Every structure is written in structure tokens, then in C-alpha cells.
């Protein structure tokens, strides 16, 4: 772990402090206050509040000016986000032996879930932090960030360390990487699942988005770290070019014409799948029960990672058949009275929606239905693309509301509808699900996409209880 020079300076200045904080509402007497500029507000606006509550020192960006009627020590730093992360991981120190980071547009939660499942069944004590929350310490699951802010994250790691966790599996989002939320941590293995369009509301360009992701493989690795890359992704040449230039470690590539790849897939009548996988010179058979193809890829990516870290491949191989499904990822909700099937999926990007619908069409015996919307205050450009994908792969499309947040829900739906054909528009998500389930006939299959594991729907900044899985199951026997 990289040490904080800032804290070293503060210590040499003999300033006493208890903790660090970036929120003046919860600062305690004796804390160091970091005034971080954000997209909605600036931490400088709250310095006087922090001083009034007894802050021991103030840290601000070097280019900012600050006038306060106090002789409190003020430290100016070049990169305040980097500094708060370094300080957080020093104040809340941890001693977790092995750390694995997973980045990518889609599949982060699934690969993390499979890593956790495999390691747990191999007798290792593990924990995951990501979209599905903290797998061990539930009190940290109220946030909505895939990669938590540094102070929160450092407290989670300290708690996990005290619980004698050996393996930490963490999702690394593009936002988290760009904002250096875990700067200073070094990972024993870093995984890239794939790259496709998402979060352009924040990153503005695909180039910025990709570069933010790839920072994981240069700024967060040790000399002996393992880098695992799914070569079957659109921007693989750019990935290879970056890794060749910025990393001293030879990556392990999965798929394409590499040493590690799937060579044969056999689908059985009972929906089980047998996959022949090449691991260097070895050929191994993996059996899966009712597993979507994209989740088989994710399981094997987790397998390759652990194999590269020294875990026994034969032992992992025996675990595939009993592996449970990931919450909200092509999760089977049940069958209707006339034997139509309903699935829940978190797909909220064009690539993820396409993969879910292709998988749905493979499972479907008659007609494919989809209910979905797009989140508000997020990447606007993907909305018409997702509408076009839905109308291409599904027989029936129902456009509804996802999490409108602070945006006009009708405007969001209209942007999805742009290139969509053969659709129904039903704004209320509950009614959309009910209507579509009532239309299902024998052999049909419905995918309710976009929210997956989420338990709330966010409208005008308020979270209302809503669970796609529970709602759909309530209508199955209509």
C-alpha cells in the first residue's frame, strides 16, 4: 500500500487528529477536513462549518483560494482525490492478504460473485464489495456506488480485515477509477470483463471511458500481479496497446486465439451445458445447469483468474454444476399458469441488453417479450440504441420507466422509442410488468430488464420500494 506523504507532513507538524472527513455534516472534533470539489457542489463552501465543528486541519486543492478567519492549518495539495484515498487507507489500515479487482462495462458483479462462490467452496474466507453491496458487512449496503468513496471503503476494509478475511474481491467502476477512490491499494489480480458503451454522461467520450478503466492495470498492480483480460471484446486492440505500453506484466488473455479459450459448447435438452475449455495444454470439461452463455464466460474468467493465482483447476471444475445464479442476472422468476417463462436481468447498456435478448431467444420456444426503460440523468446516447436492439431481437417490446431520477420520464421513453418498432408504452413499471405477463402464451419468454437486483425505484430523488423479482412473481398466476 502506498503511504500518504500528506499525513507524514501533518504528523511532523505535530497536528493531532482523530480521523479524516470530507462531509462537514458528520465531521467530528479533531478530524482533518478535505474540501473536495464535486460535480454538484464544492467542499470549499463548507470549510467554515468544518472549522466551527472543531476540524484540526483543512486540505484543499492547490489552485483554490481560501479565506477564513481562523489560524487552523491549511494544506494545499496537487491532487486532492489521490490524497484523501492515501490518507483514508493509512488512517483505517487493513491487512487483507489477497485482493482481486474486476472492471468492465458488464459482468463485474457476476465475475465477483463467481470468484466468491469458488473461493468459499475451496475453504477460503472471502468478501465482495460492489454493485450488490458488501457480502459480509450488511450495514454498508445502503449506498448506491459500485466503488465506494475512499473513507467509506477504507472503513469497510478495516472491518473485513478484523474479520480475518483472506480474499477481497472488489468491483472497480470507471467513476471509481477516474476519481481515484481506492488509490494506494494494490491488487494481486486485476480482471477486465469487456468494454462497451456506458456512462458517457460522465466521461463524455469512449476514449476517456476506456482510459479510466485501463488505469486499473497500471496504477493498482504489484510487480507479481496477474492481469486477466477477456480478449473477446470490441476494443481489445486498444487494451493490448495500453497494457504493452503502461504495464510490465504480461497479461493472460481469455478467448480468441489464445492459450485459454472455449473450444466446444454442447447444449443438452434439459438446458444443461457442457463446455470444453483449453487451459494451456490441458483440456477441461465444465458442466453448467441452466446457465446463460454469457454467465458461463464470466464463470470461466473467474476460473482462469484463480487458476493463475495457484488454485487447483480440477477442484474448481467440480464446482460449476452446482453454481447458483447471480441475483438479478438472467435470474429465473418463474413460470406462468400456461408455462411461459419470466426472467429478471440487470441489463442497462446496449451490449448487456443484446446479450440478454440473444440468450432469451435461445431459451424461448415461442415468442420473446421484453420490458425495459433507461435510467434518468445517465448516458442519453444509449437510449435509442437500446430501443433499436429491443425491437431487433424481441417479438414484443414494452417501454416503461426505470429510475427516472430527476429527469422527465416521458422524455426518456421518447428517446428510447426513437428507433424502436412494434412497441407498447406503459409508463408505470408495475402495470407494464402485469400487462406483459398477462399477454404471455405457452412457450413465450419475458425478460424484465434494467434494474435486476435493485430494491427501489428512484423518482425525483426519492427511493420507492420496487423489486422486479417480487413484483413479477406476484403476477405469475394471473
Domains of the chain: residue spans and CATH: 5-88 (3.40.1390.10), 92-317 (3.40.1190.10), 331-475 (3.90.190.20)
The C-alpha atoms of residue 187 and residue 218 are separated, in whole angstroms, by: 11
Residue-level pLDDT at 257: 82
What is the predicted pLDDT for the residue at 234?
A: 87
Contact between 355 and 390 under an 8 Å Cβ cutoff? The reply is: no
Instruction: Return d(Cα 115, Cα 62) in angstroms, integer.
Output: 41
**What is the per-residue pLDDT for 270?**
79
Beta carbons of 313 and 307 less than 8 angstroms apart: yes
How confident is the model at residue 140, as a pLDDT?
A: 62
Instruction: Please report the pLDDT score of residue 83 as a whole number.
Output: 97
In this structure, are residues 378 and 411 in contact, taking their beta carbons and an 8 Å threshold? no
CB-based contact 342:446 (threshold 8 Å): yes
Q: In 3D, which of 57, 63, 48 has the Cα closest to residue 75? A: 57
Task: Please report the pLDDT score of residue 142 as a whole number.
Answer: 57
CA dihedral 420, 422, 427, 428 (to 10 degrees): -130
Q: Considering the chain, what percentage of its residues have pLDDT values greater than 90? A: 84
pLDDT at residue 141, rounded to an integer: 57
Contact (CB, 8 A) for 372 and 450: yes
Stretches where the chain sits below pLDDT 70 are: 1, 138-144
- pLDDT for 143 equals 59
Amino acid at each position: 500500500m502506498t503511504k500518504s506523504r500528506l499525513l507524514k507532513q501533518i504528523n511532523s507538524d505535530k497536528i493531532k487528529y482523530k480521523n479524516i472527513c470530507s462531509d462537514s455534516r458528520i465531521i467530528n472534533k479533531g478530524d482533518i477536513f478535505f474540501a473536495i470539489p464535486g460535480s454538484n457542489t464544492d467542499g470549499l463552501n463548507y470549510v467554515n462549518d468544518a472549522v466551527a465543528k472543531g476540524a484540526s486541519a483543512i486540505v484543499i486543492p492547490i489552485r483554490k483560494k481560501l479565506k477564513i478567519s481562523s489560524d487552523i492549518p491549511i494544506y494545499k495539495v496537487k491532487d486532492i482525490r489521490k490524497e484523501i484515498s492515501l490518507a483514508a487507507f493509512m488512517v483505517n489500515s487493513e491487512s487483507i492478504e489477497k485482493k482481486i479487482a474486476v472492471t468492465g462495462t458488464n459482468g463485474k458483479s457476476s465475475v465477483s460473485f463467481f470468484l466468491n462462490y469458488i473461493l468459499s467452496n475451496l475453504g477460503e474466507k472471502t468478501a465482495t464489495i460492489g454493485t450488490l453491496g458488501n457480502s459480509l458487512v450488511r450495514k454498508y449496503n445502503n449506498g448506491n456506488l459500485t466503488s465506494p468513496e475512499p473513507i467509506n471503503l477504507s472503513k469497510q476494509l478495516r472491518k473485513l480485515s478484523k474479520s480475518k478475511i483472506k480474499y477481497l474481491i472488489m468491483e472497480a467502476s470507471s467513476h471509481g477509477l477516474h476519481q481515484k477512490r481506492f488509490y494506494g491499494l494494490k491488487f494481486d489480480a486485476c480482471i477486465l470483463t469487456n468494454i462497451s458503451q456506458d456512462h458517457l454522461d460522465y466521461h463524455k467520450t469512449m476514449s476517456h471511458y476506456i482510459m479510466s478503466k485501463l488505469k486499473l492495470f497500471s496504477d493498482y498492480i504489484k510487480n507479481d500481479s496477474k492481469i486477466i483480460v477477456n480478449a473477446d471484446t470490441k476494443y481489445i486492440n486498444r487494451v493490448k496497446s495500453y497494457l504493452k505500453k503502461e504495464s510490465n506484466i504480461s497479461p493472460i488473455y481469455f478467448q480468441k486465439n489464445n492459450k485459454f479459450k472455449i473450444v466446444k459448447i454442447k447444449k443438452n435438452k434439459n438446458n444443461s451445458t457442457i463446455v470444453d475449455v483449453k487451459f494451456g495444454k490441458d483440456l477441461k470439461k465444465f458442466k453448467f445447469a441452466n446457465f446463460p452463455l454469457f454467465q458461463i464466460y464470466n464463470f470461466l474468467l473467474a476460473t482462469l483468474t484463480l487458476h493463475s493465482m495457484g488454485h487447483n483447476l480440477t477442484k474448481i471444475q467440480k464446482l460449476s454444476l452446482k453454481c447458483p445464479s447471480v441475483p438479478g442476472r438472467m435470474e429465473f422468476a418463474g413460470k406462468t399458469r400456461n408455462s411461459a417463462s419470466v426472467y429478471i436481468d440487470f441489463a442497462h447498456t446496449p451490449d448487456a441488453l443484446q446479450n440478454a435478448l440473444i440468450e432469451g431467444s435461445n431459451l424461448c420456444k415461442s415468442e420473446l417479450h421484453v420490458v425495459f426503460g433507461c435510467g434518468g440523468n445517465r448516458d442519453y446516447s444509449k437510449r435509442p440504441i437500446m430501443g433499436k436492439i429491443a425491437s431487433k431481437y424481441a417479438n414484443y417490446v414494452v417501454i416503461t420507466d426505470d429510475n427516472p431520477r430527476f429527469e422527465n420520464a416521458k422524455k426518456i421513453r421518447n428517446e428510447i422509442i426513437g428507433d424502436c418498432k412494434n412497441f407498447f408504452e406503459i409508463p408505470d413499471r408495475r402495470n407494464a410488468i402485469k400487462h406483459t405477463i398477462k399477454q404471455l402464451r405457452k412457450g413465450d419468454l419475458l425478460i424484465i430488464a434494467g434494474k435486476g437486483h435493485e430494491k427501489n425505484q428512484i423518482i425525483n430523488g426519492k427511493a420507492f420500494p420496487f423489486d422486479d423479482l417480487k413484483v413479477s412473481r406476484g403476477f405469475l398466476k394471473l
